[in-house]
Chain A
């Protein structure tokens, strides 16, 4: 067991072999030397790290219900401020909320929106594995167009999910918070830099981190880094940050790879390579190009 990496989050948790979530948690927690308090939404991270009677967390950790990781973080912040005012607390801890895409895009969205709007001092980290993976892979607001999921299954009349994924970065940005960034578990130094920046920002900050899921995206357990890199190299998941409303793209890919390179690595997109579904791939490529153009335009203007 690596002593440095397990200072705040230990080994001996039950995430699937080849899951990237622990790498995200360790990188974010490792970005600060100050005390931290963690609030966690229900999801893969919660069920795999807190199996009674053991816990992998060496820092104070609270889980209440699915939708309110952000509300819990807001409560911790309010309590710390009250204790500080009455002189009972000198060094308030940093507050970090972790949530999956289910607990952030869908169920926890209004709690997140409320906490951002009230301006609580905390960092919200969403690890986005694009679906409800812990319960068998149902679609979520983050599942991409054309993916085969349990509640949007592929059949003779269906090619998987028929809706586009939600643009959460724009939703969060609309709250006017000072720092938010999109990161990828395959680029850990970039994630660490962003986490440090976010933790040093007063007020709320937000990180959206891509987390390829070996079980439901259906790829070999050893591949999460390779597939994460492909997502960025094809411009499906560009790395960027928004600081005081100013967009900065961190990786400008000179010649983005075609989206097929990313899609063909995963079982959830296998059906798209049948002749009748080839149009869907073209549509995905078109959306990826459009989204990146929009982002590039925003980065130019600001």
Chain B
């Protein structure tokens, strides 16, 4: 209990909502065009855009190096599937 009934934000006390997940979204690096449509729509804010590694540049082939790749933080991802639904090129696949 904190003083004066004020509760401070503490990420370590937050529930790890990744436990809720029964379908797991996976980003296909060869398809992701780096448009970041999925990022603001994710209710948990677990989608992030990052630079591609060299191996990922290789499999994505036709995409330029500058195009970022969406990655998912599975610690909080509830597996709702919104990212897969909004993706314009269907680069996110929900897996059991």
Min C-beta distance of A30 to chain B, whole Å: 9
Partner of B14, one of A17, A54, A221, A222: A54
Q: Are A5 and B9 in contact (CB under 8 A)?
A: no
Chain A CB within 10 A, most for which of B1, B41, B48, B73: B41
Using CB atoms, name the residue of chain A closest to B39. A2
Interface size class of B (residues with CB under 8 A): 35 or more
**Are A11 and B45 interface neighbours, CB within 8 A?**
yes
Q: Contact at B46–A2, with CB atoms within 8 Å?
A: yes
> Which of the segments B26-34, B53-61, B77-85 contacts the partner chain?
B77-85
- Cβ 8 A contact of B17, one of A14, A26, A27: A14
Within the complex, the shortest CB–CB distance from B33 to chain A, in Å, comes to 18
Chain A residue with minimal CB distance to B84?
A222
**Shortest beta-carbon distance from A166 to chain B in Å:** 27
Chain A residues numbered 9-64 whose CB sits less than 8 Å from any CB in chain B: 10-15, 17-23, 26-27, 50-58
Within the complex, what minimum Cβ distance (angstroms) separates A245 from chain B?
31
Give Cα distance in the complex from A148 to B16, angstroms: 34
A55→B7 contact, CB < 8 A: yes
Identity of the chain B residue whose Cβ is nearest the Cβ of A49 in the assembled complex = B14
Give the chain B neighbours of A15 by CB distance below 8 A: 43
How distant is the Cα of A14 from the Cα of B19 in the complex, in angstroms? 12
Other-chain residue from A14, A21, A226 in contact with B85 (beta carbon distance below 8 A): A226
Say yes or no: B76 contacts A11, CB within 8 Å. yes
Chain A residues near B78 (CB, 8 Å)? 17-18
B86 x A18 contact (CB < 8 A): no
How far is B20's CA from A13's CA once the two chains are assembled, in angstroms?
12
Is A225 within 8 A of B39, CB to CB?
no
What are the nearest 6 A-B pairs in CB distance? Answer: A12-B14, A222-B81, A18-B80, A17-B80, A17-B78, A54-B13
Q: Which positions in A face B, CB cutoff 8 Å?
A: 1-3, 5-6, 10-15, 17-23, 26-27, 50-58, 188, 214, 220-226
For the complex with contacts A18-B80, A188-B41, 11 further pairs of A-B residues with Cβ separation under 8 Å are A1-B75, A2-B39, A10-B45, A11-B46, A12-B14, A12-B76, A13-B14, A19-B43, A23-B41, A56-B14, A226-B85
> Would you list 29 pairs from A and B whose C-beta atoms are within 8 A, ordered by A residue?
A2-B45, A2-B46, A2-B48, A3-B48, A6-B45, A10-B11, A12-B14, A12-B15, A12-B17, A15-B43, A17-B79, A17-B80, A18-B81, A20-B43, A21-B43, A23-B43, A51-B15, A52-B7, A53-B1, A53-B7, A54-B9, A55-B7, A221-B82, A222-B81, A222-B82, A224-B82, A225-B82, A225-B86, A226-B85
